[in-house]
Amino acid sequence: MLNILPSRFGLHCRRWLPLLLAAAALGLGGCASRVPLAPAGSSNPKFSATDKDGPEATIPPNLQQVPDALPQIEPIRKGGPNKPYEVLGQRYEPITVDAPLSERGLASWYGKKFHGRSTSSGEIYNMYAMTAAHPTMPIPSYARVRNPANGREVLVRINDRGPFHSTRIIDLSYTAALKLDILRGVTPVELERITFDDIRTGAWRRGSGDELAPLGDSPVFAAAQPVGAPQPDSITTLAPTIPVVSSPRHAAPGFWVQMGAYSKLDGAEQFRQKLLQELDWMAPLLAVFKDGGLHRLQAGPFGSRDDARQAAERVKLALNMNALVVERR
């Protein structure tokens, strides 16, 4: 079994494959498609006590108040959960670049059968967290999912593979499905991946009721992304191209680590290139912002001050230099 697949897609599916195919023909799904089951207490015989997935007997209260996933920049690697794989005779090629992705299709959800078990990413599945499974989106990724029937939207972290059904595009956690009001069955949704640039600039906040506060500086250059050819061991093997942000965009609110402030852009860019060579883990986080007469080289945004401090400490240990943690509001 490929190491990118969680245990739920292993021998269990192969053992019950004939039954799964018959069930799929009836629209009942199975471990490869994970059609949602009815909420607890349903009198529908289709959702009898013998069903192995669905909601738990006792559902935690106030799940509607569970916050959405908070997008963060997490580097994409070509190995592990992003390797090509095959399920039920179908081959899948996960995306290994930071690229936008928009889809429309059906969403399902999965619950207690997989709660507490490993996902494709190696993380433990929590049906009450804001996560989801997608067959090809990079792991990890963040996505906005919208139910066009009621206008509800959620932000989820993609940390698993599935659903393996030709008409379904995403498998949501129980809580994500609850917040979208799709627990009753497979439901049409709209899906949009949140890119690194969306996270750096805070553009992901737009459309979710969390508008950006105006900031005085805008990014001059965004970081070069490790995309394309086989994943290198070091960022030095990447072409030193600098994607230009053509229109003024704001830096995202949150915590940033500042490496330096320069009167000339050349100075900031030279040091940015040095960091790309010596701190490859920082590549997706780096940006140069023009702030008045200065060009500030910063990495972020980080979800908390502690995360930013840890990053600053890694910089200090690697380069013997002090980096400043700053907060943007």
pLDDT of residue 280: 73
79/18 Cα distance (integer angstroms): 32
CB atoms within 10 A of CB 248: 10
Give the per-residue pLDDT at 31.
36
Shared domain check, 244 and 114: no
Domain that includes residue 214, residue range: 202-328
The pLDDT score that the predictor gives to residue 207 is 53
Question: Is there a domain that residue 162 lies in?
Answer: yes
Tell me, yes or no, whether 23 lies in a domain: yes
For residues 155 and 150, give the distance between their C-alpha atoms in angstroms, rounded to a whole number. Answer: 16
Quick check: is 17 in a domain? Answer: yes
Q: Are residues 156 and 227 in the same domain?
A: no
Residue 248 tokens, joined: 């003024």
> Is residue 2 in some structural domain?
no
Nearest to 274 by CA among 302, 244, 251, 240: 240
Are 41 and 154 in the same domain?
A: yes
For residue 240, being part of any structural domain is answered with: yes
Q: What's the angle, vertex CA 142, arms to CA 279 and CA 309, rounded to 5?
A: 40
Question: How, if at all, do strands 152-160 and 141-147 pair?
Answer: antiparallel
Domain for residue 1, yes or no?
A: no
163 occurs within a structural domain = yes
CATH classification of the domain holding 296:
3.30.70.1070
Q: Which residue has the tokens 């060009």?
A: 295
Do residues 208 and 158 both lie within one domain? no
**What length does the chain have?**
329
Domain containing residue 154: CATH number: 2.40.40.10
d(CA 116, CA 35): 19
For CA atoms 77, 81, 86, 92, give the dihedral sign: negative
The span from the CA of 135 to the CA of 207, in Å, is 25
Residue 11: per-residue pLDDT: 36
The confidence score (pLDDT) of residue 294 equals 83
State which residues of the chain have pLDDT below 70.
Answer: 1-51, 206-251
- Domain end, chosen from 194, 227, 259, is at 194
**Of 143, 170, 194, which residue constitutes the final position of a domain?**
194
User: What pLDDT was estimated at residue 168?
Assistant: 94
Q: Are residues 64 and 209 in the same domain?
A: no
pTM summary value? 0.57
Within 10 angstroms of residue 74's Cβ, the number of other Cβ atoms is 16
18/150 same-domain check: yes
- Is residue 222 one of the residues assigned to a domain? yes
Gap between the Cα atoms of 171 and 186, Å rounded: 10
Check whether residue 83 and residue 212 sit in a common domain. no
Same-domain check for residues 59 and 37: yes
Query: Looking at the structure, do residues 66 and 184 belong to the same domain, yes or no?
Result: yes
Q: Please name the residues in contact with 77: beta carbons below 8 A apart, sequence gap of 6 or more.
A: 96, 231
For residues 94 and 162, give the distance between their C-alpha atoms in angstroms, rounded to a whole number: 11
CA–CA gap between residue 12 and residue 36 (Å, rounded) = 18
Neighbours of 211 (CB within 10 A): 10
- Going from the C-alpha of 12 to that of each of 9, 52, 115, 171, the distances in angstroms are 7, 12, 16, 19
Residues 262 and 189 in one domain: no
Query: Do 149 and 290 fall within a single domain?
Result: no
Q: Write down the residue that tokens 């190491």 correspond to.
A: 3
> Can you tell me whether residue 310 is helix, strand or coil?
helix
Q: Are 194 and 145 in contact (CB under 8 A)?
A: no
- List, for residues 289-301, the tens digit of each pLDDT value: 777 778 888 888 8
Last residue of a domain, one of 159, 194, 229: 194
In total, how many domains does the chain have?
Answer: 2
Same domain, 178 and 249: no
Contact 186, 111 (CB under 8 A): no
